[in-house]
Structure 1
Amino acid sequence: MELAEVIRALRDELESAVEAGAGEALRFELGPVEVEVSVAIVAGASAEVKPRFVVVSLGASGNVERTTTQRIKLTLTPREGRTGRTPMVAGTAGERER
């Protein structure tokens, strides 16, 4: 799985949490999200192929030409796309000012 796919899946999960919490009395402000993954920097035999980050799972093995595995930690700060505000994982964005 490529790193972009992991971030896309995280975004989908957070959006689901916001939607699932609509109308709840208790809400949580979504602060910085820390994600730590092990990635393999994969480079093929051809110089034309650019290196890419592939998230590896424990016990995974592959048949690649060259692989360097590193752990990286990302700190992501979610913002609502339309307003730029910090999202809430319960309730709706319009209720935030209460």
Structure 2
Amino acid sequence: MIELASVIRDLREELEQAVAAAEGAELRFELGTIELEVSVALERSAHAGAKVRFWVVESGADATVGATRTQRLTLALQPTLTRSGNPPFVSGTTGANEQ
């Protein structure tokens, strides 16, 4: 199983690589809402100060989860660029009025 935070971090890194790889290309794709659907297992520790953690169940790993119950979770992520707050483009050159 993989922590949900790791899945989102890896997705962010992949998208940043796509934006960087598209530098100078003429064809543009604006990145819109990303819907991420995962199967998650919930883990809660019994000791004081414990927190709840979400683990993403890897494909085909349902049988290994055993007694842990899994749920399907859909996240709608709206990517924006830190500096401008605009949606990113995963390809294409920046226009005259864009940042």
Assess same fold via TM > 0.5. Answer: yes
- Over 3 Å counting, the alpha-carbon distance change for 1:96 and 1:43 in structure 2 is farther
Other structure's SS at 2:71 match = strand
Which deviations, in whole Å up to 9, do the C-alpha atoms of 1:51-84 show, x marking residues without a partner?
2100011332258xx6331000011000001110
Given that 1:3 and 1:53 are in contact with CA atoms closer than 8 Å, whether structure 2 keeps it comes out as yes
- The TM-score, its normalising length taken from structure 2, stands at 0.83
Distance 1:43 1:67 in 2: 11
TM-score (norm 1): 0.84
CA 1:16–1:32 in 2, change beyond 3 Å: closer, same or farther?
A: same
- How high is the sequence identity, in percent, across the aligned residues? 50
Task: Give the paired residue count.
Answer: 94
Moved more, 4-13 or 54-63: 54-63
Q: Within the alignment, does 1:95 sit opposite 2:95 as a pair? A: yes
Distance 1:89 1:10 in 2: 13
- As a proportion of its length, which structure holds more strand? 2
The CA RMSD measured in Å over matched residues stands at: 2.0
